[in-house]
Amino acid sequence: MKFRNLDYSVEDGVAVITFSRPKFFNALNTETLEEFKQVLKDAHDDDMVKALVVTGSGERSFVAGADIEEMLNKTPIEAMLFTELGNGTCRYLETLAKPTVAAVNGIALGGGTEIAMSCDVRFASEKARFGQPEILLGIIPGWGGTQRLPRLVGQGKALELLMTGEQISAQKAYEIGLVNRLCAPEGLLGAAIGFARKMAGMPPFAMKMLKQAVYIGNSMDIASALAFEIQCVSQCFSTKDQKEGMAAFKEKRRPVWTGQ
């Protein structure tokens, strides 16, 4: 399928989704969000896709946020529908059974930071910048920023960023735990794809159970989360990959995963 606002390619088990609205710094309007959600579903349904990388076109912008021009005159009902679309798309990205990597190549503001936080791992160019500036527009984040940011960097630091709308450098984002790895701009996408390719080589059902244990368990009390973890581990023992992984360990060879 051809998309107007993003590019999509698959190679060696890794899908690369690139936001491409360069005139608008890759800002997200309704059409772009709908395309993004559709391409995520396409990647989910494609057995050839084992991992995903999300990035932006060029070096200046990952995603500059939601399209303010489109949002400016929305009614409360229209704003709710738009927010539900962005919020639901980020949640769909977060709960994909396949590993996801954000390659943040430039500014990631508002919805850009929220999309990056919805990925499992974040790689950032040394030139990238992050922020949740919604408070400066008279609103608050609505695509998960008020929930994921405290979980990643702690409540105090998250509130500081949310209440001031301050932008921070990639280095600062790395220091507070928002970013996993810093990369030179020219090496960012290659590093992100290399990591995604490594994740694509992992047993897919175990990866799915791992993500569920982390993301679903994070919303439970500790006793319930530990019980849920036991269930996730136990389900792995229904797969051929579990038998292969342990046999390969015993036989001192590399496992050959079949996805079964």
Read off the pLDDT of each residue in 26-42 and give the average, rounded to a whole number: 96
Do residues 219 and 189 both lie within one domain?
A: no
Q: Are 41 and 77 in contact (CB under 8 A)?
A: no
Same domain, 26 and 88: yes
Same domain, 189 and 216: no
Size of the chain, expressed as the number of residues it contains: 260
- Separation CA 196–CA 133 (nearest Å): 30
pLDDT of residue 41: 97
CB 117 within 8 A of CB 148: yes
Name 20's Cβ contacts closer than 8 Å, sequence gap at least 6: 5, 6, 7, 26, 56, 57
Catalytic residues: 114, 134
Are 120 and 224 part of one and the same domain? no
Confidence (pLDDT) at 1: 65
Torsion region of 58: left, alpha or beta (phi above 0 gives left; psi -120 to 50 gives alpha): left
pLDDT at 26: 93
β strands within 97-201, DSSP E: 100-104, 107-109, 121-125, 129-131, 167-169, 181-183
> Are residues 128 and 164 both part of a single domain?
yes
Quick: pLDDT tens for 170-183.
999 999 999 999 99
Q: Are residues 81 and 210 in the same domain?
A: no
Which residue in this structure is represented by tokens 């990639």? 170
Residues 136 and 209 in one domain: no
Q: Which of 180, 200, 220 is the last residue of a domain?
A: 200
Is residue 140 one of the residues assigned to a domain?
yes
Nearest in space to 116 (alpha carbons), one of 71, 73, 195, 55: 55
| Angle subtended at Cα 104 by Cα 196 and Cα 209, rounded to the nearest 5 degrees | 40
- Give yes or no for residue 97 having a pLDDT over 70: yes
**Res. 64 pLDDT band, cuts 50 70 90:** very high
Using the structure block, give the residue that is written with the tokens 């994070």: 218
Res 113 pLDDT > 90 = yes
User: Residue 258 domain-assigned?
Assistant: no
Confidence of residue 58 (pLDDT cuts 50, 70, 90): confident
Query: Are the C-beta atoms of 145 and 201 separated by less than 8 Å?
Result: no
Q: 222 in a domain, yes or no?
A: yes
Cα–Cα distance for residue pair 153/160, rounded to 1 Å: 11
Is 102 found in the same domain as 216? no
For residue 160, the model assigns a pLDDT of 98
The two beta strands, 107-109 and 61-63, are parallel
Question: pLDDT (tens digit, 9 = 90+) per residue, 205-257?
Answer: 999 999 999 999 999 999 999 999 999 999 999 999 999 999 999 999 999 99
Report the alpha-carbon distance of residue 246 to residue 251 in Å, rounded: 9
Q: What is the pLDDT of residue 259?
A: 86
Q: What is the number of domains present in the chain?
A: 2
Enclosing domain of residue 187: 6-200
Query: Is 259 domain-assigned?
Result: no
Average pLDDT over residues 97-124: 97
Confidence check: pLDDT of 2 > 90: no
Looking at the structure, tell me whether residues 181 and 90 fall in a common domain: yes
134-148 average pLDDT score: 97
Q: Answer positive or negative: Cα dihedral of 155, 157, 182, 122.
A: positive
Confidence of residue 59 (pLDDT cuts 50, 70, 90): confident
Q: For residue 228, tell me if it sits in a domain.
A: yes
Mean pLDDT over the full length of the chain: 96
- The answer to whether position 256 is within a domain reads no
245 and 130 co-located in one domain: no
Report the alpha-carbon distance of residue 55 to residue 7 in Å, rounded.
Answer: 10
Residue 54 and residue 100 in contact, taking contact as beta carbons nearer than 8 Å: yes
CATH value at residue 191: 3.90.226.10
Do 91 and 210 lie in a common domain?
Answer: no
Q: Is residue 260 part of a domain?
A: no
Cα 147 from Cα 162, distance rounded (Å): 11
Has residue 51 been placed in a domain? yes
- Biggest alpha carbon distance in the chain? 65
What is the model's pLDDT at position 182? 98
CATH number of residue 240's parent domain: 1.10.12.10
What count of Cα atoms within 13 Å lies in the side-chain half-sphere of residue 25?
17
